[in-house]
Structure 1
Amino acid sequence: MGGGGMASWDFDRQVTSMRLLVEFAQEQGMDVRRALAGTRLQAAQLNDPQAVVSAAQELRLIRNMVETLGDDTALGVALGQRYHFTAFGALGFAMISCQTLRDALDIGLRYFQLTFAFTRFVVEDGQDDTVVRLSDEELPLQLRRFIVERDLASFVTLQRDIFGAPQAIRALRFAYPAPRDQRAYADFFGVKPQFDQAETQVVLDRGLSLRRLPQANELARQAAEAQCRQMLQARGPRSGLAAEVREHIAAGLADGISMQRVAADLHMVPRTLRRRLAEQGTAYAELRDEVRQALAEAFLSGPQLSVEQIAARLGYAESTSFINAFRRWHGRSPHAWRLDAARRR
């Protein structure tokens, strides 16, 4: 895993995924106590629909499974097929109520912290295709194959729940070596995957992804999305020192405000600021990204500032850095986001 703040997957999540993992592990002959070893979670807690667990707890469960069961038998693919839209609660209902599959992708990216994913999803639209890229560089090397398989299979399962019968997948590529037996991949995904590729990606038919969905319901989507917003707000509004740091960052972004400057403004040394933010489960770089993301959305939704002007106001030395960061946050370019925002108004 890389340094510089928390990983993009490091957010709390409903216990649903851990319950699915344990049920699957049991079917593979694994003891429940072995599966939950080191997670600080009791089996009874898996049945509490209100329980929230940390990403680290779920990752420890996955590590236990990979160490016991291995990762070369498409187990992640089999597991991912259990993540139907109902497993995602309000987010699942928001997605299945969208006008199109492409709109559902946008909702999923907007509320990524209500998913169970450990890989980062980036979505790019071409003339005929929509490419969904999965990035796993923030994960421990020995867990990547299993998690990529799980996350991609759950994404496809969710897409089929939303879209119904037509096969939207045109191509499938994995960034790891081919397993001994590839039949499970073709059987589930409906296409023959390519292995040893530069990156993991699934290519969707853009025409199908823009087709109106039969279960589209705008009022239901709005109600479910409101629930999603409430859930995120309840999980982690910034307060205390983190809120103060965010305010200082917002005021000084255009001038390239640094952690050293914020620490001085708060009458402490950088080392103390770093330690106190870590105690709150965050880091300066993460708070700066939060401020930049919020301001970027505001700028793109308001007056027609150019991307170059927005990049400068957010403290980026060049617009390319801002565009790359925005793709990481939203899975698409600032220009594409602006067009969608204008269409929704």
Structure 2
Amino acid sequence: MRTVEEPGIRTWDFPRGIASIAVMAGCAADHGVSTDRILAGTGLTSAALSDPDLQVPGAIELVVVRNLVRELADVPALGVEVGRRYRISTFGIFGYACITSPTLREAISLALRYYQLGYGFCTPVVEFDEGTVLARIHHDLVPADVARFLVERDIVAMHRVMGDLLGHEFAVSRIELDFAAHEGADRLSEVLGATPLFGRPQTVFALDPAILGQSLPQANAQTWSLCVAQCADLVQRRTARTGITAQVRKLILPGGDSTGIPAPPTIEQVARELGTSPRTLRRRLAEAGTGYRALVDEVRCTLAEEMLSGTPLSVDDIAIRLGYAEATPFIHAFKRWTGTTPSAYRRKRAGSARP
């Protein structure tokens, strides 16, 4: 059965930690470029790069990207070099949630769910089908002057992190890029293990589906659940439901009780209620560090938790009331949202309610 998973947010302009900027500053330093030159125009100091709690807008990282590309314009395959420097530890608690996931498939789903806790500029949409796993890399919102660098950086970083999760290097089965071949293309082939096809209609890479179900060497159910909960809390704090997000969430929430939940409104319907256009609404949500799909998922998660803890409805009934055709996709979604299954969540809540 073909399934498609994508990030809850479809923009690069979201608040992010400082670790990615530190990675690029380290690359620049290795090439003899000072940190001050890489941070020019950001308002950041070199001391800020060691602050684990510092958050910066995506636009600030973009300034650093442009500084790096300008300063190291003569370095071949710069995107590949920088991408190789990202490790699972670069992503903090988000990275630990991924590395303790049961399988690579679960880790990919988790990474897409909490994409805004990373440092990506490109948007990966992953298609799972029988016999193939295809990641389509969308970069239509990435500024053209740094698009090639960021596409190569993000793809190689994804590949590097997946290698960390598996505990070994692996080759992609196919890589296609929608830009022309360039000096340093051999390095891309060497790192990814497949010869890139340039000048293609879109940028995609494919994985061997056999690796998806492999147990990850550091999988730990208890640690995973704890890390997923912390990721959810971090996203919640970063995107406090005020302003436009509060207005949208209110419109998504159904009226009445939870026994007859209507399908969530489309973004076009919500935009109309707010007297704006879908494009403007998407932009305003992106500025608030979230997206429409992320808010719909958040509401569904809240309703699911309420029904699991406050009603005798079966998991199948809850799935149908939330708009799912059957229980399986709901169970998979709930596990991405909370790090546990609906049944396990209900048992835990029932246990905590006992005197």
- Cα deviations across residues 80-102 of structure 1 (Å, max 9, x unaligned)? 11111111011111111111111
Aligned mate of 1:61, from 61, 64, 83: 64
Contact 1:71 1:146 in 2 (8 A): no
Deviation at 1:215, TM superposition (A): 2.1
C-alpha offsets along residues 139-174 of structure 1, whole Å, 9 cap, x if unaligned?
Answer: 111111100111111111101111123625211121
The number of residues matched between the two structures is 306
Residues 301/47 of structure 1: CA separation in 2 closer, same or farther (3 Å cut): farther
The residue number in structure 1 matching 2:145 is 142
In structure 1, the residue matched to 2:332 is 340
Q: Which runs of no fewer than 5 residues in structure 2 stay unpaired?
A: 1-8, 256-263, 305-314, 336-340, 343-355
**Aligned mates of 2:284, 2:273 — CA distance in 1:** 18
Task: Give the 5 Å matches for 1:147-296.
Answer: 147-165=150-168, 167-240=170-243, 242-248=245-251, 250=253, 254=265, 257=269, 259=271, 261-262=273-274, 281-282=287-288, 288-295=292-299
Q: How does the TM-score come out when normalised to structure 1?
A: 0.77
Rounded to whole Å, the distance in 1 between the matches of 2:235 and 2:318 is 28
Q: How big is each residue's C-alpha offset from its partner over 1:212-240, in whole Å with a ceiling of 9 and x where there is no partner? A: 22321111111111111121122121124
SS in 2 for 1:118: coil
* Structure 1 unaligned residues grouped into runs of 5+: 1-5, 264-269, 312-333
9, 13, 17: which one pairs with 1:14?
A: 17
Equivalent position SS for 1:89: helix
Query: Which residue identity lines up with residue 274 of structure 2 in the other structure?
Result: V
SS of residue in 2 equivalent to 1:172: strand
Q: How does 1:49-128 map to 2 (within 5 A)?
A: 49-70=52-73, 73-128=76-131
Deviation of 1:294 (Å): 3.7
**Aligned partners of 1:261, 1:113: CA distance in 2, in Å?**
27
Question: Partners in 2 of 1:12 and 1:43 — Cα distance?
Answer: 19
Query: Structure 1 residues 215, 65: closer, same or farther in 2, change over 3 A?
Result: same
Change (3 A) 1:293 1:51: same
Report deviation, 1:279.
11
| Cα RMSD (Å) | 3.4
Correspondence for 2:35: 32
Query: SS of 1:215's equivalent?
Result: coil
Contact 2:324 2:330 in 1 (8 A): no
Equivalent residues of 1:248, 1:262 under 8 A apart: no
After the TM superposition, which of the residue ranges 55-64 and 69-78 deviates more from structure 2? 69-78
- Asked whether the equivalents of residues 94 and 224 of structure 1 are also in contact (C-alpha less than 8 Å), the reply is yes
**What displacement does 1:31 show?**
3.0
Aligned-residue identity in percent:
29
